[in-house]
Every structure is written in structure tokens, then in C-alpha cells.
């Protein structure tokens, strides 16, 4: 049995709790929290402990899910825990991946552990789709579309607008752009041509809808470069119709081969997810298994999805995989 | 530079010749043939040699593409060459993969080489799509659809029918079946509900079209279980409109997570290929690079796509991949 721990009880922690029974080779043994454990309501599968106690569990956990935010939590926590445990995180601040990798690699090697960073679906499965497709078609173009799905960052940005009580933002890929890419047209697409943004907003009492809409659609970085639609609805409607966290997207590589590049090829990988956090956790659990197996095979250091032979992800033996999946 | 050799000059050999320039870290150094080399017309990138001379090239080739048929060529050739070289093949007789793996593994270990078997897109990339998706969604269903594309085996079968001068067969996935799978319906689909078969047939002089059509559509294993359409056309039309070798297909896994399995997820990987042999060769070249790199890293033995860390497929260094593809 792979003994799983979680540091930080949020979406990922809850995802592990629901997904663990689909992975009969894994058991959840401890949840660590920075909050008062008494105040953390879990499903009760395992004890909830103060994070300071984690080091006492050094020999009782095979893989720790480090489930914090990329901005400030993971840069500090993942290296710290990599000295004590095999770890996995979802670090997704692209520009800082090289630095995070270096810090985690040093700590994991000191501790003699495997640490997988930047796992999930993007970065993660979408990264793998890009890598495989680039290796196969050196002559070609990459496209990534996200959605239809809820962007937490954009929803948060709307909530910070004066006059907004609550909000949910959907990122939506433009159908016509996807159609052109899929047809092998290799179009050049602006930001505006790739995605639209749809916002469902609950106003505070007395707020001016015209002003709120203007403040949203002109917001730099978040909305100014997109065609953005704002719908004003009640809190009841928001809670009733927009409480899910769906997401997904498409990774394409289109390219050509032949003496005159006359043969076109389209590689497409896509996800359609009812629950972004539960799917992300599902990816993490497969790679958590891989971390433990690579550690058993004598490997140490920081790894990404690029470093992991696919065979490590499944609990079945290699004969089974070759007979049934190849 | 990775020095590439080819044993057997057919579709794969020609594919390597056209694709090699897209892979600037590779050079084609020798083509070995069972035919009289004088009769083999290549693009002239490298010498064409009798297959018996291969062993003299032991230290001059980093990876040999073993490009024969799965029925009789590869079971004999791949183990033989794995004693001399790192090798890669496209062995696709599913039921015999365990036996082929064992034979090649023994030979590759004796020779101290890496041997990759069953590479291409199915088996190959489709196998990877299945493995990753199964690891992520343990609770779910797999679907593979092929086409629209030319099936060489089915085209050959039609050509053996009495009264047929020439023929081309297309395998076509049923749109409605794909739509239902993509919508997460998890349907149970019969063979007939998944694919249709479309045949373009040139009759021999005096042949009875009614009889030929009957003999095709009732052919066991090949056509009897499908809705098959037969079109009679002239040799000129066949040559003009059906000389390409397109193919492709779709690998789906649909599954669910959540306390009551209430959240549905759809993972889809698809290929749309103008040239099946050129794309297959493109996949082989990426994995050929991986074979050489794994060999440099000290590994030996038989491998499949499941055993190969994705980072080995690209010529860039790992820092570059993490910064640009993750």
C-alpha cells in the first residue's frame, strides 16, 4: 500500500479524499494543516494534524501532496517537505519553474527523495501532449485553447472590482479558431481570436452596472485584450447555476511531412472536465504512484512529467500493460 | 549526430529519407536490403547494401530501423539485429507482443543494446493515450476509433476476390458513435456501430459486379460485421482519386469522479494524417532518438513506448523543455 499524506486541506485535499477509493493500492494516512486541526472538517479518513508534526511522520508516509498556492506557499513548502518525504506539487507559475525546480532538486537530493513539481493537466498532461507532438512533428505549429471553464484568477479579479458582491468567469475557446486549427490551416491567431470571456456578476446594492461592466471589460491583462460579456444575476442564480468548477481545453500540433511538405498532419489532445480540482487530483494520484515507484527503483531528485516513464503510473505489472494497453 | 540505418527499403525507409532533414541531429548512413542493391532506387542519401553486410556496420550505426512485416520478418529480424545494434520496429500483431518482447529482450541484453518494439501510432501513440488516461481515470471506459483511413489489410483482402483487378478500402468511424462517446454517454457499441467500410473497386473485364459486391460484403472477419459500401470505378479513377494513404483515429477515455461519481470527464486524443507511413516514420524517429539516449545513459533491453521517459524524445536539453514546453 502507498501511504499518502496531504499538506494543506483545500481543493486538492478534498480531491484526494474522493479519489482514493478508485486507487486500491493507496491509503490516506494524514492531513497536515496550518489551521487549528479542530476547525478542519474532513471526511474523517485519517487524522488531521498541525503542520509542525509532519516531520514525525517521516517514515509513515510514502508520498506527500503539497497542496498550497504557487505564489508563496509552494516555493517554500515543496523544498522543505522534499527533505522529509517524496512529494508532489502543482506549481504553475511558468516563469519561475526553473528556479523552483533547482530549489526542489537540491532539497530532494539532500533528503534522498523524489519530488514531482508542476503536475496536473496544465502544466502536466497538456505539457506532455506538447512534448510528444513536438518530438513527432518538428515542422509545425502549436496551439493551446482553454475552456470552456471557470478561471479562478479571473473570477477573483472581478470580485475585487468596486460594486461587485460575487462573480464567476468562464474562459471560452472560439469555435471558429478551433475549426481552422483542426483543418490544418495553421492560422496566426491573436489573443482576441482564440478565447472569449463570459462573466456572471452579482452587484452590491446600489452599484452602477454600467460602471462595473466598464471596469471589468477594460481591466488590463485580465479582460482588455478579449471580447468580454458581462451578465448581471442574483446571488441565488449564481449559486444555483454556476457553482460547478468545470474546465478543459485543447492542445493541437499541426505540421507536415513529405518532399514538399505536402502531407499535413493534425495531433489533438483535449479534456472536458466537470470538476477541475477532482481531475487535477486524479492526475496527481497517478504521478504520486510513479514517484513512489521511481524512489523504490533508486532514483532521487526533482522530476516533472517529462522525466517519468509512463509505466510507473499504473499499478499493473508491465506484462499486463503490454498485453492489454499496447 | 545520431547515425541511422534502415533494414528493408519500403514505406518506412522512404519515410526516413523524407523526414531525416527535419531532424538535424540525425543522419542516414546505410540502407540494407534483401534484394539486389542495384535494383533498389533510393534518394541517394546513403549507400544501399546487401543485408548480409549489416554486421560490418556494427560500430557505424547508432540505431537501426527494422522495417519488415510483423507476420514473418520482424519476429526473426528484430532479435537478430538487436544483438548488433540499437533497433526499433513497428511490430503490430497484438497477440504475439509478449513473445516478441521476450525474444527481443534476450537478444538486446546479450548485445548490450536498446530495442524498441511496437512503435508508431497504433501500437504507439494510441497506446500511450490509453495508458495515461487509464492511470488518471481508473473508473471509466475506453474507446478507440480508426479512420477515416486506408486499411492496407482490407484493401489486400478485396484484391484477392475473384473478378477484382484493384481496390482501396477506407475505414470510417461512425460520427454518431463518436458524438455519443464525446458527450460522456459511455455507450456500449457493437462493431457495426463503431465503423463503416467503404470500398473502391476496379473490376476485371467480364466480372459480375453483383457477385463481387456479395463476395466482399459477406467476407468473414474483414467485412461481414460491418456496413460496407462498394463503389465500382475505373483504374484511372482509382489512381487519380485514391492514391493517398491517409489515416488517423480517436482514443477516448471517459470516466467519473466524486462521492457519487457525479463529475464526468472526457479525455480525447486524435490524429488526422495525410500520410500514414510518413507519420509512422515521424513517430519512429523520435523514439529512435530516445533509444540512443537511453543506451548512452547505460540502459539495455527491450522497451516499448511505456518504458520511455518523454524527455528522451526531443533533441533539446531538459532546461529548455521545462522552460518552453511545461
Q: What is the per-residue pLDDT for A30? A: 97
pLDDT band at B125 (very low <50, low <70, confident <90, very high): very high
Q: What is the per-residue pLDDT for A307? A: 98
* Pairwise CA distance, residues A5 & B199, whole Å: 57
User: Do A145 and A195 meet the contact criterion of CB atoms below 8 Å apart?
Assistant: yes
Looking at the partner chain, which of A131, A259, A263 has a beta carbon nearest the beta carbon of B313?
A131
Q: Which residues in chain A touch residue B11, judged by CB atoms under 8 angstroms apart? A: none
Looking at the partner chain, which of A139, A267, A271 has a beta carbon nearest the beta carbon of B22?
A139
Looking at the partner chain, which of B182, B273, B311 has a beta carbon nearest the beta carbon of A265?
B273
Q: What is the per-residue pLDDT for B41? A: 93
Share of chain A above pLDDT 90, in %: 97
Looking at the partner chain, which of A307, A310, A325 has a beta carbon nearest the beta carbon of B311?
A307
User: A257 vs chain B: nearest CA distance in angstroms?
Assistant: 7
| List of residues 6+ apart from B176 with CB closer than 8 A | none
Q: Considering only alpha carbons, which residue of chain B is nearest residue A137?
A: B282
Question: Which tens digit of pLDDT belongs to each residue from B147-187?
Answer: 999 998 999 999 999 999 999 999 999 999 999 999 999 99
Share of chain B above pLDDT 70, in %: 100
Q: Considering only alpha carbons, which residue of chain B is nearest residue A122?
A: B326
Give phi and psi for A105, each to the nearest 5. -60, -45
Residue B61 exposure: Cα atoms within 13 Å on the Cβ side: 32
Q: What is the per-residue pLDDT for A214? A: 98
Q: Which residues in chain A touch residue B289, judged by CB atoms under 8 angstroms apart? A: 135
Cβ–Cβ below 8 Å for A306 and B323: no
Looking at the partner chain, which of B132, B257, B313 has a beta carbon nearest the beta carbon of A125?
B132
Question: Which tens digit of pLDDT belongs to each residue from A29-41?
Answer: 999 999 999 999 9
Taking only residues 120 to 159 of chain A, the set having a beta carbon closer than 8 angstroms to any beta carbon of chain B reads: 123, 125, 127-132, 134-139
* Pairwise CA distance, residues B67 & B249, whole Å: 23
Question: Which tens digit of pLDDT belongs to each residue from B224-273?
Answer: 999 999 999 999 999 999 999 999 999 999 999 999 999 999 999 999 99
Q: Which residues in chain A touch residue B136, judged by CB atoms under 8 angstroms apart? A: 125, 279, 282-283, 286
Average pLDDT over residues B290-308: 98
Cβ–Cβ below 8 Å for B263 and A278: yes
Q: What is the per-residue pLDDT for B48? A: 97
Q: Which residues in chain B touch residue A304, judged by CB atoms under 8 angstroms apart? A: 322, 326
Average pLDDT over residues A208-237: 97
Looking at the partner chain, which of A264, A309, A325 has a beta carbon nearest the beta carbon of B274?
A264
Cβ–Cβ below 8 Å for B311 and A309: no
Q: Tell whether A261 lies on the interface with B, counting CB pairs under 8 A.
A: no
User: B113 vs chain A: nearest CA distance in angstroms?
Assistant: 19
Question: Which tens digit of pLDDT belongs to each residue from A184-202?
Answer: 999 999 999 999 999 999 9
Cβ–Cβ below 8 Å for A326 and B304: yes
Looking at the partner chain, which of B19, B97, B314 has a beta carbon nearest the beta carbon of A135?
B314
pLDDT band at A170 (very low <50, low <70, confident <90, very high): very high
To probe the interface with B, which of A22, A91, A132, A182 has the most B CB atoms within 10 Å? A132
CA dihedral (B182, B185, B191, B192) positive or negative:
negative
To probe the interface with A, which of B310, B315, B318, B320 has the most A CB atoms within 10 Å? B310
Taking one residue from A and the other from B, the number of pairs with CB-CB distance under 8 angstroms is 205
Q: Tell whether A298 lies on the interface with B, counting CB pairs under 8 A.
A: no
Question: Helices (H), strands (E): how many in chain B?
Answer: 11, 14
Q: What is the per-residue pLDDT for B143? A: 98
Q: What is the per-residue pLDDT for A256? A: 96
Q: What is the per-residue pLDDT for B213? A: 98
A241 burial type by CB count under 10 A (0-12 exposed, 13-18 middle, 19+ buried): exposed
Cβ–Cβ below 8 Å for A136 and B125: yes
Question: Which tens digit of pLDDT belongs to each residue from B40-59?
Answer: 999 999 999 999 999 999 99
Q: Tell whether B269 lies on the interface with A, counting CB pairs under 8 A.
A: yes
| List of residues 6+ apart from B254 with CB closer than 8 A | B137, B140, B141, B143, B181, B184, B186, B264, B265, B266, B267
To probe the interface with B, which of A136, A282, A314 has the most B CB atoms within 10 Å? A136
Average pLDDT along chain B:
96
Average pLDDT over residues A307-325: 96
Looking at the partner chain, which of A125, A278, A306 has a beta carbon nearest the beta carbon of B321?
A306
Q: What is the per-residue pLDDT for B82? A: 98
pLDDT band at A183 (very low <50, low <70, confident <90, very high): very high
Cβ–Cβ below 8 Å for A22 and B138: yes
pLDDT band at B318 (very low <50, low <70, confident <90, very high): very high
User: B28 vs chain A: nearest CA distance in angstroms?
Assistant: 16
* Pairwise CA distance, residues A104 & A79, whole Å: 5
Average pLDDT over residues B194-213: 98
pLDDT band at A215 (very low <50, low <70, confident <90, very high): very high
Helix%, strand%, coil% for chain B, nearest 5:
40, 25, 30
The complex's ipTM? Answer: 0.97
Q: What is the per-residue pLDDT for B316? A: 95
Beta bridge partners of A254: A141, A266
Q: Tell whether A311 lies on the interface with B, counting CB pairs under 8 A.
A: yes
Q: Considering only alpha carbons, which residue of chain A is nearest residue B251?
A: A269
Q: Tell whether A115 lies on the interface with B, counting CB pairs under 8 A.
A: no
Average pLDDT over residues B197-221: 97
Q: What is the per-residue pLDDT for A161? A: 97
Q: Considering only alpha carbons, which residue of chain A is nearest residue B325?
A: A127
Rg of chain A taking only CA atoms, in angstroms:
22
Q: What is the per-residue pLDDT for B305? A: 98
* Pairwise CA distance, residues B131 & A320, whole Å: 11
To probe the interface with B, which of A92, A135, A184, A285 has the most B CB atoms within 10 Å? A135
User: Do A214 and A161 meet the contact criterion of CB atoms below 8 Å apart?
Assistant: no
User: Do A326 and B94 meet the contact criterion of CB atoms below 8 Å apart?
Assistant: yes
Can you give the three-state secondary structure of chain A, one letter per residue? CEEEEEECCCHHHHHHHHHHHHCCCEEEEEEEECCCHHHCCCCCCCCEEEHHHHHHHCCCCCEEEECCCCCCHHHHHHHHHHCCCCEECCCCCHHHHHHHHHHHHHHHHHHCCEEECCCCECCEHHHHHHHHHHHHCCCEEEEEEECCEECHHHHHHHHCCCCEEEEEEEEEECHHHHHHHHCCCCCCCCHHHHEEEEEEEEECCCCCHHHHHHHHHCCCCCCCCCEEEEEECCHHHHHHHCCCECEEEEEEEEEEECCCCCEEEEEEEEEEECEHHHHHHHHHHHHHHHHHHHHHCCCCEEECHHHCCHHHHCCCCHHHHHHHCC
Amino acid at each position: 500500500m502507498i501511504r499518502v499524506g496531504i499538506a494543506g486541506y483545500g481543493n486538492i485535499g478534498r480531491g484526494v479524499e474522493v479519489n482514493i477509493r478508485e486507487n486500491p493500492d493507496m491509503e490516506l494516512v494524514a492531513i497536515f494543516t496550518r489551521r487549528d486541526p479542530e476547525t478542519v472538517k474532513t471526511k474523517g479518513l485519517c487524522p488531521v494534524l498541525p503542520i509542525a508534526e509532519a516531520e514525525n511522520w517521516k517514515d509513515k508516509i510514502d508520498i506527500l501532496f503539497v497542496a498550497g498556492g504557487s505564489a508563496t506557499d509552494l516555493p517554500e513548502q515543496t523544498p522543505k517537505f522534499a527533505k522529509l518525504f517524496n512529494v508532489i506539487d502543482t506549481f504553475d507559475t511558468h516563469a519561475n519553474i526553473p528556479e523552483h525546480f533547482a530549489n526542489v532538486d537540491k532539497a530532494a537530493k539532500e533528503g534522498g527523495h523524489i519530488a514531482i513539481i508542476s503536475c496536473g493537466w496544465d502544466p502536466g498532461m497538456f505539457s506532455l501532449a506538447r512534448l510528444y507532438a513536438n518530438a513527432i512533428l518538428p515542422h509545425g505549429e502549436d496551439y493551446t485553447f482553454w475552456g470552456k471553464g471557470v478561471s479562478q484568477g479571473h473570477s477573483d479579479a472581478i470580485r475585487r472590482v468596486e460594486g461587485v458582491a460575487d462573480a464567476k468567469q468562464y474562459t471560452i475557446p472560439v469555435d471558429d479558431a478551433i475549426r481552422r486549427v483542426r483543418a490544418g490551416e495553421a492560422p496566426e491567431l491573436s489573443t482576441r481570436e482564440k478565447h472569449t470571456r463570459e462573466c456572471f456578476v452579482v452587484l452590491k446594492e446600489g452599484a452602477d452596472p454600467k460602471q462595473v461592466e466598464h471596469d471589468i471589460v477594460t481591466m488590463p491583462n485580465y479582460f482588455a485584450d478579449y471580447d468580454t460579456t458581462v451578465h448581471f444575476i442574483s446571488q441565488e442564480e449564481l449559486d444555483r447555476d454556476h457553482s460547478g468548477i468545470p474546465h478543459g481545453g485543447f492542445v493541437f500540433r499541426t505540421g507536415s511531412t513529405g518532399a514538399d511538405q505536402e502531407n499535413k498532419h493534425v495531433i489533438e489532445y483535449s479534456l472536458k472536465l466537470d470538476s477541475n480540482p477532482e481531475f487535477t487530483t486524479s492526475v496527481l494520484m497517478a504521478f504520486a504512484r510513479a514517484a513512489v515507484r521511481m524512489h523504490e527503483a533508486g532514483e532521487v531528485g526533482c522530476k516533472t512529467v517529462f522525466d517519468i516513464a509512463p509505466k510507473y503510473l499504473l499499478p499493473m505489472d508491465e506484462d499486463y500493460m503490454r498485453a492489454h494497453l499496447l
